[in-house]
Amino acid sequence: MRNQQITLIKYLLSALLIAGIFISAPAQKKKKRRKQNIESVIATGRSYIGTPYKWGGMSRSGIDCSGLIYNSYKTIGVNLPRTAKDQSKTGKKRGWEGIREGDLVYFKFKKKGSKWFHSGMITYVGKDKILFVHSSSSKGVVESNLLADYYKKNVKNFRRVIR
């Protein structure tokens, strides 16, 4: 009787182990795919560094901030709205404490009586710096430190598109 109980326990434990493997495998694949997608959009965004700014531009001969985000995410099959203002409403809103690489950052600047939006993509989150790639109207596509006062004080929100 005791041997039968031990055998039954072994079978049950084996079944639980196998079930656990099948349950956790898809979660691991999803996590790996998310990481690959984040790496891909960041690599695409960075590949535009040095490209001149062009309002409404979508190519390597000239691109604006929302075009950069649009093209970067398109490489992983995500179709975002075309303007920074519309993009800033897409995805899940995040706070400063929850941002990570691949998240989008949106700014609202006031200049000469008008308000305008700007967007970028977080490329690195560290203790003393947070880098983001964006298309600056004066410098073209660059990677900047989000913790610089100019950017930090004008952040409107963060959005996570890749979950």
pLDDT of residue 31: 84
Contact 68, 127 (CB under 8 A): no
More confident residue, 109 or 140: 140
Across residues 89-118, what is the average pLDDT?
87
Task: Tell me whether residue 54 is one of the annotated catalytic residues.
Answer: no
Mean per-residue pLDDT of the chain: 88
Band of pLDDT at residue 74, cut at 50, 70 and 90:
very high
Would you put residue 100 in left (φ > 0), alpha (ψ -120 to 50) or beta?
beta
For residues 22 and 41, which has the higher predicted lDDT (pLDDT)?
41
What residue spans of 103-152 are helical by DSSP H? Answer: 149-152
**SS3 track for 53-96:** ECCCCEECCEECHHHHHHHHHHCCCCCCCCCHHHHCCCCEEECH
Catalytic residue among 41, 65, 84, 141: 65
- Counting every residue, how long is the chain? 163
Dump pLDDT digits (tens) for 38-57: 999 999 999 999 999 999 99
The encoded tokens of residue 150 equal 């100019």
Residue 27 lies in a domain: no
Query: Number of structural domains, the chain?
Result: 1
Catalytic residue among 104, 134, 141, 144: 134
Tell me, yes or no, whether 9 lies in a domain.
no
Residue span of the structural domain in which 114 resides? 35-160
Q: 15 in a domain, yes or no?
A: no
Percentage of the chain beyond pLDDT 90 is: 70
